[in-house]
């Protein structure tokens, strides 16, 4: 199986940063996800949506990266929403108890609606 | 699938992730960074550290850490950890020594009887305590990390020893060359007219050999032979060496003994290069068999001998001698050319011309021949002369 080189793109939607990881989140290249979120946090953004539509799989290294983002946001009382997750991703987050530390939505637009409604 | 089973599967895959991180071809710091992510990701720890033990300094160095105060980690005493179970995770609780670093769990890392370092963890995101299952998994992980760290430190020790050996070798080479130069100076000092002759012959010979494609090791060998080729002259009286009037046949025979004496002296030395003694022995032989001491001809003369012979003659021609004036460079080159096939080898002459031509054109970063030539020489004249010879010697002769 050929693994896709992991990369990250993002966009700003109002005061919400939407992050698009792409590829298997399983090695040091996943640090780019933490860095990308860090850049927005550094600019004062406190609401982040991670759209996992292009990332089906994650391993312990990827979990560690995600943990870092959750902590970084927690330190600034921010909110992380995860959307478009595969069953594997959702099951893994649930089993580890990570799900309690994030808001999960089926699709990106739901997360944006939630964040813009100011309920976060 | 039950949560327990899912968790067990996740733990197994975490071990696979660890194995992959450890055995990857990444640089050590990338490996250990991946290992660190595997651990913090597996246990959802927001604080963690990998410390490695420096045996000589008897202290723990922080390889990687997250969430701890560096000063706290610096205070962790290796002696306190060594009494704990090997690779056994222990819950720190209220232990006054270990609580210093603020860690919840500590694993002393060992490989057999060797203390390697420690792993510290703290602050599970899910808040719950470390379970027995967590500790068992951590034990397996600790064994793996200990081996990886130990392998790295063995490798570093080896690399350090290699570097030390290389440095010692370089030092010895330096001393060796210094001794050779002292020898050469002693030879050249005997004959007021041949000052630095040995040094120049060494340089010229090495330049030709290098251009001919010899390995750097072999180039060094001919360089040494160049330095020592006339060492036998030490056995000749100063009066004879510096005589202004022509030599009598007896005197000539006496002088001619020097290459055999050079061989006798150098054959006592166990050189790391092959043929040094052969090259010095036969540097006065000629292709037509009219040289000395053994009247060797053609195939009996190695490339090394041919190079040394040409370099020696070229320097002799371009240096002032008691019985004749020195030749200018073009005249010396013309003289070498005149003696091709009878005394000197075409191939070596071609290479000599090429290397000198390159030096004149500035194509070689460190010229070996040019700096020793007459400063008043007209380089364009020499270059034109060399160009002609290069063309002539490069063109294959038509068979008869
Ligand atoms: Fe000689
Ligand atoms: Fe000589």
Is A1 inside any structural domain? no
ipTM: 0.91
Is A120 inside any structural domain? no
CATH code for the part of the protein at B193-394: 1.10.3210.10
Residues 42-61 of A with CB under 8 A from B: 59-61
| Domain total in chain A | 1
Quick check: A28 and B33 CB within 8 A?
yes
Q: What is the Cα–Cα distance from B204 to B278, expressed in whole angstroms?
A: 18
With a threshold of 0.80, does the pTM exceed it? no
* Residue B138 near chain A (CB below 8 Å): no
Q: Which ligand is nearest to the CA of B316?
A: 2
Which CATH number is A12's domain given?
Answer: 3.30.750.24
CB count in 10 Å sphere of residue B253: 11
Cβ-nearest to B10 among A28, A65, A95: A95
User: pLDDT (tens digit, 0 to 9) for every residue of chain B, 400 residues total?
Assistant: 677 788 888 888 888 888 888 888 888 889 899 999 999 999 999 899 999 999 889 999 999 999 998 888 888 889 888 888 899 998 887 676 667 677 889 999 999 999 999 999 988 887 778 888 889 999 999 999 999 999 888 888 888 899 999 999 888 888 888 888 888 888 877 776 677 899 999 999 999 999 999 999 999 999 999 999 999 998 898 888 888 888 899 999 999 999 999 999 888 888 888 899 999 999 999 999 999 999 999 999 999 999 999 999 999 999 887 777 889 999 999 999 999 999 999 999 999 999 999 999 999 989 999 889 888 889 999 999 999 999 999 987 665 4
**Domain boundaries, position A37:** 7-114
Is A68 inside any structural domain? yes
- φ, ψ at B284 (rounded to 5°): -110, 15
Cα dihedral sign for A49, A54, A59, A62? negative
What letter would DSSP give residue B344?
A: B
Is A67 inside any structural domain? yes
Q: What residues does each domain of chain B span?
A: 3-186, 193-394
Is A119 inside any structural domain? no
CB count in 10 Å sphere of residue B288: 13
Q: Which ligand is nearest to the CA of B262?
A: 1
Is A2 inside any structural domain? no
Quick check: B125 and A101 CB within 8 A?
yes
- Secondary structure, 3-state, chain A: CCCCCCEEEEEEECCEEEEEEECCECCHHHHHHHHHHHHHHHCCCCEEEEECCECCCECHHHHHHHHHHHHHHHHCCCEEEEECCCHHHHHHHHHHCHHHHCEEECCHHHHHHHHHCCCC
In terms of C-beta density within 10 A (0-12 exposed, 13-18 middle, 19 or more buried), how is residue B243 classed? middle
Instruction: Identify the CATH class of B3-186.
Output: alpha beta
Contact B309, B343 (CB under 8 A): yes
Is A48 inside any structural domain? yes
């Amino acid at each position: 199986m050929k693994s896709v080189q992991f990369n990250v793109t993002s966009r700003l939607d109002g005061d919400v940063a939407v992050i698009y990881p792409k590829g298997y989140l399983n090695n040091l290249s996943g640090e780019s996800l933490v860095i990308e979120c860090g850049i927005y946090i550094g600019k004062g953004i406190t609401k982040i949506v991670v759209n996992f539509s292009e990332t089906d799989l994650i391993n312990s290294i990827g979990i560690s990266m995600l943990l870092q983002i959750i902590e970084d946001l927690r330190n600034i009382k921010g909110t992380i929403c995860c959307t478009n997750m595969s069953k594997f991703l959702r099951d893994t987050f649930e089993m580890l108890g990570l799900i309690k530390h994030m808001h999960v939505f089926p699709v990106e637009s739901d997360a944006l609606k939630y964040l813009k409604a100011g309920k976060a | 699938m039950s949560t327990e089973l899912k968790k067990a599967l996740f733990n197994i895959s975490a071990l696979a992730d660890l194995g992959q991180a450890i055995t990857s071809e990444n640089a050590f710091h990338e490996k250990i960074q991946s290992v660190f992510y595997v651990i913090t990701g597996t246990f959802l720890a927001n604080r963690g550290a990998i410390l490695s033990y420096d045996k000589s300094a008897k202290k723990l160095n922080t390889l990687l850490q997250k969430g701890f105060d560096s000063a706290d980690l610096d205070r962790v005493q290796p002696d306190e950890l060594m009494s704990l179970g090997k690779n056994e995770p222990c819950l720190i609780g209220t232990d006054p020594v270990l609580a210093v670093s603020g860690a919840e769990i500590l694993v002393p890392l060992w490989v057999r009887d060797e203390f390697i370092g420690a792993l510290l963890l703290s602050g599970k995101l899910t808040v719950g305590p470390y379970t027995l299952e967590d500790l068992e998994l951590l034990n397996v992980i600790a064994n793996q990390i200990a081996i990886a760290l130990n392998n790295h430190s063995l490798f570093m020790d080896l690399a350090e020893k290699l570097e030390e050996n290389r440095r010692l070798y370089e030092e010895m080479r330096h001393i060796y060359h210094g001794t050779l130069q002292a020898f050469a100076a002693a030879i050249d000092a005997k004959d007021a007219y041949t000052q630095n002759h040995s040094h120049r012959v060494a340089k010229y010979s090495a330049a030709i050999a290098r251009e001919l494609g010899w390995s750097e090791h072999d180039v060094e060998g001919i360089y040494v032979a160049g330095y020592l080729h006339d060492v036998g002259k030490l056995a000749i009286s100063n009066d004879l060496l510096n005589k202004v009037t022509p030599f009598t046949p007896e005197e000539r025979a006496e002088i001619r003994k020097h290459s055999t004496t050079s061989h006798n002296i150098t054959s006592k030395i166990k050189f790391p290069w092959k043929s040094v003694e052969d090259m010095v022995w036969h540097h006065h032989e000629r292709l037509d068999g009219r040289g000395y001491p053994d009247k060797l001809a053609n195939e009996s003369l190695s490339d090394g001998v041919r190079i040394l012979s040409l370099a020696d003659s070229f320097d002799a021609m371009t240096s002032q001698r008691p019985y004749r004036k020195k030749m200018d460079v073009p005249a010396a080159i013309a003289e070498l050319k005149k003696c091709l096939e009878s005394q000197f080898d075409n191939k070596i002459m071609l290479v000599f011309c090429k290397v000198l031509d390159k030096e004149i054109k500035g194509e070689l970063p460190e010229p070996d021949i040019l700096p020793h030539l007459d400063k008043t020489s007209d380089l364009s004249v020499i270059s034109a002369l060399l160009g002609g010879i290069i063309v002539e010697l490069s063109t294959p002769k038509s068979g008869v």
